[in-house]
Amino acid sequence: LPLTIPVLIFGVSAASAASGGAAPFLTPFLMLCAMSLLALAGAPFAAAAALRYARE
């Protein structure tokens, strides 16, 4: 749950900027991309650990 809060904040910020808000669009969008890539890179290790734990 703590990792979903930054995604929510940057997602709302990017959506607000894309819909014509005063905030710049690129910064929150790049933060969302970075968080997505980190999650994608870590997912196989987390899945492997979960499978190892479930097998025991």
Structure tokens at 52: 């190892």
Secondary-structure percent of the chain, ordered helix, strand, coil, rounded to 5: 80, 0, 20
Q: Are 17 and 25 in contact (CB under 8 A)?
A: yes
Using CA atoms, how far apart are residues 10 and 1, in angstroms rounded to an integer? 15
Structure tokens at 51: 């499978």
Place of tokens 């190892």: 52
Identify the pLDDT of residue 1.
66
Q: How confident is the model at residue 56 (pLDDT cuts 50, 70, 90)?
A: confident
pLDDT per residue over 8-51, tens digit each?
888 888 888 888 877 788 888 898 899 999 999 999 999 999 99
